[in-house]
Structure 1
Amino acid sequence: MQTVLEFQRVLLKVQASLTVDEVQDLVFLCSDLLSLKDLSTVTSAGQLFSLLENRDLLSWEDPSLLLELLRILKRNSLIRSLTSEDVMPTNGTTYSQQISPYRQLLYELSESICEQDLKNIKFLLLKTLPRKKLEKDTTLLQLFLEMEKEDLLDGNNLDVLQKIIGDINPSLEKRIIQYKMESCEIDTMEEQVDRLSLTEGAAAFLSGGTSVNLQYNIMLDQYEMKGDKRGVCLIINNCDFKDCGLRNRDGTDIDKKSLEVVFQWLGFEVLTEQNCDRHQILQVLRDLADRDHTSTDCVVCCVLSHGQIKGIVGVDGQIVTYRELIETLSPSQCPSLFKKPKLFFIQACRGTDDQPAAFPQIFPDDEVMPVSDAAVPRDSIPEMADYLLAMSTVPHYVSYREKDNGTWFIQSLCHNLKLLVPRGVDLLSILTKVNSDVSKKTDKSGLKKQMPQPEFTLTKRVAFPPPKTRPPLP
């Protein structure tokens, strides 16, 4: 409670330091993270911060978005005062990367345009935007938002803006051209990633490696994501294991909440089942298979539980094998999911071994680790297409759960979905980033590690459409 109160004091200090114009700048920068409907009512920094907190985008544990926004506003002295003397935790990372380069470009342009240039831009837009949108008090950032509403401007469509800026300020046109070139390089990199099989070559590429092993030179098709509904996301959240003698999974509700928020944001109907035994796990999956998924794009199942090498452990201590788990949604059991992606995210242990860190020479003494969970065997995928099993760890090893922060795997998954889906990154590339992030985590001793593992029989790329708005928290 004390840390929450301290963080609110930090936000109050920031609010008092910002001008009215800076608040509107923040509203614009956050327009990819929050719905325009919510942002339309924001008149103060406090209101904006409350919205970000309600969407789990800003907290005492992770203030990185606030620091990133202040960096973009060039409020460096304020950042220094906030991060000095432990006023606010930084967790070793001063800035996040949640504000897109595109949004930052538009803000940069707005800061470089003088009053006369703005008048000229409004004149050039007279035949394009309604006159009431071009009133005297309309700012350039507000004009950008109106152009986006009219489909005249987005991260991949800067031609109209470039022409207008080029007529008004040729030096700023060069900045747009530079952004286009940088974006083209990123697109080329992602196309190369798409051509990689999910092996060490792909991981090396995403982590900055110089050696890229191209497996084939054709572009993959993409699963359609144009249905009336995105689909169902089923979350099985097992916490209470006292009846079978296993430890309760304290902290799992943090993962459950994060998953609910992210998959609702992605357009899924989220169903949550608590503390399921073996029979109940299979039954809720059979109920899911009995649904008509004809108008949906895919299905997601997240299982948060204890586990063994053979499968998931129910709260009665009985195992559901991974084959049993996914065969409930096979084409024979659920024809309406035929040729649609069936995505499983498994947070559970796959054994009892601690995965050691690899060092070139000297090993320090061992220390206390977070409590453990784990995941799935190599031969767990049946001979059927369109499945993904994203597992929190490799066979025989535990995976880690922090009582106050949730599990390393699920929290990284949710963070990277929020960060990368709006940028058009496909799911396997996102999971490669999750692999990279989790592999860098460790305990205080630096000895214990975790390596997630995706297994799949997907035949196309899975890429979720960037959400237009965020729903309220459940």
Structure 2
Amino acid sequence: MLRLGHLTSPRYFEGPIGEMDLEFQRVLLKVQESLTSDEVQDLVFLCSDLLSLKDLSTVSSAGQLFCLLEKMNQLSCEDPSLLLELLRIMKQNSLIRILTSEDYKQTDSTVFSQQISPYRQLLYELSESICDQDLKNIKFLLLKTLSRKKLEKDTTLLQLFLDMEKEDLLGENNLGVLQKIIADINPSLEKRIIQYKTERYEPGGMVISQEIGKITPASPSALTILAHAVGIMEEQVDRLSLTEGPASTSGDQCQNSDSHSVIENKSLNFPNPEIQQYEMKGDRRGVCLIINNYDFSACTLGNREGTDIDKESLKVVFKWLGFEVLVEQDCSRNQILQGLRSLAARDHTPADCVVCCVLSHGQVKGIFGVDGEIVTFRELIETLSPNHCPSLYKKPKLFFIQACRGTENQPAVFPQTCSEDEDALCSDAAVPRDSIPEMADYLLAMSTVPHYVSYREKGKGTWFIQSLCRSLQRLVPRGIDLLSILTQVNSDVSKKTDKSGLRKQMPQPEFTLTKRVVFPAPRAQRPLP
């Protein structure tokens, strides 16, 4: 299928094209014709984290910007969520209605992605609140900082922001200069910057990040099912602390962890002994494959700071449990699938089970390779099916996925909601309800429920993986089965929050296990590093 060229060019109707594509291009043309030149520059500024500044420097119309976004797979008739988000930020409600009209039903107008960073939205919000006289005063204050050429009278505030970023005077983690200027010009706007910094940073300056990809709009029925699933989740055990050793201490106390918390036996309902257990008496426990994706510089996604902490914790715990640990670093889509095929090609006859841990960015459909390409959850799981690996027949195949399942922030359950400008935290990927193939002996433990983000502290690792490792170390020696351990992880993570107390996370295991998974207690115990 051919993509269209610039909407205003003679090539607009060239080449074969599907009916939906043509309708989408017509909608884009309506949007383009409704935007002023200033509004086009607003769009360009908001997209400056998604496209290169070199490409954006040539954009003079909305049509050119749309073509760039389509070329980079950021915009399509199947997924117009980025454009909807941009129009929402700019409060272009009439244009949103065009995109979600009866004539074009490709998306749910109530579901928006969060691909524009909270930082970029903050700068846009400030620019909308600055009058012409305030802009002149800001330029005067910057006279000794930026060149006079960059401060000529036609320069907009958004252009000034970009120039300040080029001079390293402004950034997501560098708002000091801007705050001082705004405080002198408009003290009421300074409060907005302070609010952003308070919400964005934890004590000690530790950033909690969000790993997000493009979100596939959720159907109302799926959201209803998930809301019910989260609503019936009850706390069954006391919370475990999530403390770390000296090597990872960052001074971040936002999790309110209690280093002296313990698990009381009465908090755990031990499983019915009549339920059978998978045999764990083989010559070896099995292989644990860890796919650790950090470097996403080859695509538009951000690097995953803190993921190496998760990787090391997983290595220590699964070696302690008797697994042979293999680590694959920074894998593309093809490399992820090839790594799993190599794992499936092994003879697992003497092994009890197999484990695969994936640490990456993600979305509803699956997890991202470092090339920005998706591996669906079905592809991930079916690689180790008995059809491809007969030696794993009737043996547990355990997947632990640290990835976002969407871009929505899960709110705390009390009468207080997050504003739409709140920053999102790092998330990986989520799995659809039908992602587990119809075969037995699978466990897919996801870091969050569908359509929501999961959180990663750059100096401590992710909430989910760190709680999983700690819970395994504490509960395996007590003979607790894996699903009960994951219930403990649910309890632990559900009690965590950011400093504002508004963002929450709920992990979710999905399984087709037919027996209990109980790891034998290791002979020697050692703490996590």
Q: CA RMSD in A?
A: 2.7
User: What is the CA–CA distance in structure 1 between the aligned matches of 2:269 and 2:254, rounded to whole Å?
Assistant: 33
Is residue 2:496 matched to residue 1:441? Answer: yes
User: What is the CA–CA distance in structure 1 between the aligned matches of 2:489 and 2:278, rounded to whole Å?
Assistant: 22
User: What is the CA–CA distance in structure 1 between the aligned matches of 2:486 and 2:492, rounded to whole Å?
Assistant: 10
The residue that corresponds to 2:403 in the other structure is 348
Is residue 2:401 matched to residue 1:322? Answer: no
The residue that corresponds to 1:45 in the other structure is none
The residue that corresponds to 1:143 in the other structure is none
Deviations 1:213-259 (A, max 9, x none): xxxxx821000000000000000000000111110011000000000
- The one-letter code matched in structure 1 to 2:456 is R
Matches within 5 A, 1:197-208: none
Is residue 2:395 matched to residue 1:336? Answer: no
The residue that corresponds to 1:262 in the other structure is 317
User: What is the CA–CA distance in structure 2 between the aligned matches of 1:386 and 1:438, rounded to whole Å?
Assistant: 25
- The one-letter code matched in structure 2 to 1:443 is D
Deviations 1:286-308 (A, max 9, x none): 00000000001000000000011
Deviations 1:93-114 (A, max 9, x none): 141438xx9xxxxxxxxxxxxx
Moved more, 362-371 or 273-282: 362-371
The residue that corresponds to 2:481 in the other structure is 426
The residue that corresponds to 1:160 in the other structure is none
Residues 246 and 94 from structure 1, CA distance in 2 versus in 1: closer, same or farther, beyond 3 angstroms?
closer
Are the equivalent residues in 2 in contact too, given 1:370–1:443 (CA < 8 A)?
no
Query: Structure 2 regions of 5+ residues with no counterpart?
Result: 1-242
For 2:427, which of 361, 364, 372 is the aligned residue? Answer: 372
Is residue 2:337 matched to residue 1:282? Answer: yes
Deviations 1:426-458 (A, max 9, x none): 000000110111111111111111110000000
For 2:308, which of 229, 243, 253 is the aligned residue? Answer: 253
Is residue 2:480 matched to residue 1:401? Answer: no
Query: Structure 1 regions of 5+ residues with no counterpart?
Result: 1-55, 64-85, 102-182, 196-217
User: What is the CA–CA distance in structure 2 between the aligned matches of 1:376 and 1:310, rounded to whole Å?
Assistant: 6
Is residue 2:415 matched to residue 1:415? Answer: no
User: What is the CA–CA distance in structure 1 between the aligned matches of 2:524 and 2:402, rounded to whole Å?
Assistant: 28
Are the equivalent residues in 1 in contact too, given 2:367–2:429 (CA < 8 A)?
no
Is residue 2:387 matched to residue 1:308? Answer: no
The residue that corresponds to 1:385 in the other structure is 440
Are the equivalent residues in 2 in contact too, given 1:393–1:450 (CA < 8 A)?
yes
Residues 433 and 382 from structure 1, CA distance in 2 versus in 1: closer, same or farther, beyond 3 angstroms?
same
- The one-letter code matched in structure 2 to 1:400 is Y
Is residue 2:377 matched to residue 1:190? Answer: no
Are the equivalent residues in 1 in contact too, given 2:255–2:497 (CA < 8 A)?
no
Secondary structure in 2 aligned to 1:374? coil
The residue that corresponds to 1:59 in the other structure is 246
Are the equivalent residues in 2 in contact too, given 1:368–1:444 (CA < 8 A)?
no
- The one-letter code matched in structure 2 to 1:190 is N
The residue that corresponds to 1:97 in the other structure is 262
User: What is the CA–CA distance in structure 2 between the aligned matches of 1:228 and 1:275, rounded to whole Å?
Assistant: 31
Measure how far apart 1:376 and its partner are. 1.1
Residues 386 and 444 from structure 1, CA distance in 2 versus in 1: closer, same or farther, beyond 3 angstroms?
same
Where relative contact order (Cα < 8 A, 6+ residues apart) is larger, the structure is 2
- The one-letter code matched in structure 2 to 1:93 is D
Deviations 1:70-98 (A, max 9, x none): xxxxxxxxxxxxxxxx9x99955141438
The residue that corresponds to 2:206 in the other structure is none
The residue that corresponds to 2:296 in the other structure is 241
Residues 444 and 60 from structure 1, CA distance in 2 versus in 1: closer, same or farther, beyond 3 angstroms?
same
User: What is the CA–CA distance in structure 1 between the aligned matches of 2:522 and 2:458, rounded to whole Å?
Assistant: 30
User: What is the CA–CA distance in structure 1 between the aligned matches of 2:487 and 2:500, rounded to whole Å?
Assistant: 25
Matches within 5 A, 1:64-213: 91-97=256-262, 190-191=269-270, 194=271
The residue that corresponds to 1:465 in the other structure is 520
- The one-letter code matched in structure 1 to 2:269 is E
The percent identity for this pair of structures is: 71
User: What is the CA–CA distance in structure 1 between the aligned matches of 2:343 and 2:336, rounded to whole Å?
Assistant: 11
User: What is the CA–CA distance in structure 2 between the aligned matches of 1:439 and 1:90, rounded to whole Å?
Assistant: 11
User: What is the CA–CA distance in structure 2 between the aligned matches of 1:287 and 1:89, rounded to whole Å?
Assistant: 41
- The one-letter code matched in structure 1 to 2:246 is S
Are the equivalent residues in 2 in contact too, given 1:301–1:344 (CA < 8 A)?
yes
Secondary structure in 2 aligned to 1:409? helix
- The one-letter code matched in structure 1 to 2:331 is C
Is residue 2:275 matched to residue 1:220? Answer: yes
TM value normalised by structure 1: 0.56
Secondary structure in 1 aligned to 2:291? strand
Are the equivalent residues in 2 in contact too, given 1:368–1:443 (CA < 8 A)?
no
Are the equivalent residues in 2 in contact too, given 1:61–1:89 (CA < 8 A)?
no
Secondary structure in 2 aligned to 1:260? helix
Residues 280 and 89 from structure 1, CA distance in 2 versus in 1: closer, same or farther, beyond 3 angstroms?
closer
Secondary structure in 2 aligned to 1:283? helix
The residue that corresponds to 1:293 in the other structure is 348
The residue that corresponds to 2:43 in the other structure is none
- The one-letter code matched in structure 1 to 2:312 is K
Deviations 1:115-149 (A, max 9, x none): xxxxxxxxxxxxxxxxxxxxxxxxxxxxxxxxxxx
Are the equivalent residues in 2 in contact too, given 1:233–1:300 (CA < 8 A)?
yes
Residues 273 and 362 from structure 1, CA distance in 2 versus in 1: closer, same or farther, beyond 3 angstroms?
closer
- The one-letter code matched in structure 2 to 1:380 is S
Q: How many residues align?
A: 285
Are the equivalent residues in 1 in contact too, given 2:426–2:453 (CA < 8 A)?
no
Residues 286 and 60 from structure 1, CA distance in 2 versus in 1: closer, same or farther, beyond 3 angstroms?
closer
Residues 411 and 472 from structure 1, CA distance in 2 versus in 1: closer, same or farther, beyond 3 angstroms?
closer
Secondary structure in 2 aligned to 1:253? helix
TM value normalised by structure 2: 0.50
Are the equivalent residues in 2 in contact too, given 1:264–1:471 (CA < 8 A)?
no
Are the equivalent residues in 2 in contact too, given 1:373–1:401 (CA < 8 A)?
no
